[in-house]
Structure 1
């Protein structure tokens, strides 16, 4: 990083990380249900109830995930390549969980290098 993180930066990064982690888990869970439960039900039993109930929310919430990933990546100064890989992870079942772990480790390492906050 070119400039050291301030206490305000650290606070913003922690909030962005929390938002990203929540969205990664929600989007990941919806995608797993969609692919593991919904698609077999639709194509084997001709019942698209689960697809209808999870497909559209997954799509909309994936857009929110993209926003939260961009916000976090901008705050910790990720490269565009890393940011794109993190964003694409929400399209592959179970991969959003792996990406969330990787992102969290990276952000926590970045925060560990930050100077301690002054008195507060």
Structure 2
């Protein structure tokens, strides 16, 4: 697994989490104070698009890390639960980074001396 797969996931996890918080704030203004209808519409559409991208990147990471279905499902759903991504992402990153380092060490062990 390449480090770029992990980086894409990390970036989209944080972007999706922040956008979900922004969307929640917009919903409070829309339904609590009857303001910001247009802003909420735009933010919800942007969040939806970013969440789809997050799903693709998280699924790609899960497939390359060979996660069981339950773990993959939890990571995918974490992007739709407020604050969940802030707790799930560091744990997933630590696990995936260990896989990347192990693969890097295996590749270095197989390299010819002096390369």
Deviations 1:13-64 (A, max 9, x none): x1111111111111111001111x2111001211124322211111111111
Higher Cα Rg: structure 1 or 2?
2
- Asked if 1 retains the 8 angstrom alpha-carbon contact of 2:16 and 2:79, the reply is yes
RMSD of Structure 2 on Structure 1 (CA): 1.7
TM-score, normalising length: structure 1: 0.81
Q: Which residue of 2 aligns with 1:44?
A: 32
Structure 2: gaps (5+ residues): none
CA distance in 2, matches of 1:96, 1:85: 10
Q: How many residues were matched structurally?
A: 108
Structure 1: gaps (5+ residues): 1-8
Q: Which residue of 1 aligns with 2:87?
A: 98
CA distance in 1, matches of 2:71, 2:29: 35
Runs of 4+ in 1 over 3 A off after TM superposition: none
